[in-house]
A and B are shown apart, each in its own frame.
Chain A
Amino acid sequence: GESVGLHLPTLSVQEGDNSIINCAYSNSASDYFIWYKQESGKGPQFIIDIRSNMDKRQGQRVTVLLNKTVKHLSLQIAATQPGDSAVYFCAAPSGNTGKLIFGQGTTLQVKP
Chain B
Amino acid sequence: NAGVMQNPRHLVRRRGQEARLRCSPMKGHSHVYWYRQLPEEGLKFMVYLQKENIIDESGMPKERFSAEFPKEGPSILRIQQVVRGDSAAYFCASSGLIENSYEQYFGPGTRLTVT
Quick check: is B104 within 8 A (CB to CB) of the other chain? yes
Q: Which residues does chain A contribute within 8 Å of B35, judged by CB atoms?
A: 100, 102
A103 touches B33 (CB 8 A): no
B59:A99 contact, CB within 8 angstroms? yes
Are B33 and A44 closer than 8 Å at their CB atoms?
no
- Count contacts on A: residues with CB < 8 A to the other chain: 24
Q: List the count of A-B residue pairs having beta carbons below 8 Å apart.
A: 61
Residues on the B chain within 8 Å of A49, using CB? 103
The answer to whether B56 and A97 touch across the interface, beta carbons within 8 angstroms, is yes
Contact B107 A43 (CB under 8 A): yes
Q: Are B48's CB and A89's CB within 8 A?
A: no
Q: Once the chains bind, are B108 and A104 in contact (CB under 8 Å)?
A: no
**Cα of A38 to Cα of B104 in the assembled complex, Å:** 14
Report A4 CB to chain B, min CB distance, Å.
Answer: 8
Q: Which residues of A contact B43 (CB under 8 A)?
A: 44, 89, 91, 100, 102
Task: Name the distance in Å between B33's Cβ and chain A's nearest Cβ.
Answer: 6
Q: Does B95 contact A (CB under 8 A)?
A: yes
CB distance from A102 to the nearest CB of B (A): 4
B-chain residues with CB within 8 Å of residue A42 when the two chains form the complex: 108-109
**CA–CA, A41 and B110, complex, Å:** 10
| Interface hub of B42, B59, B91, B106 (most chain A Cβ within 10 A) | B42
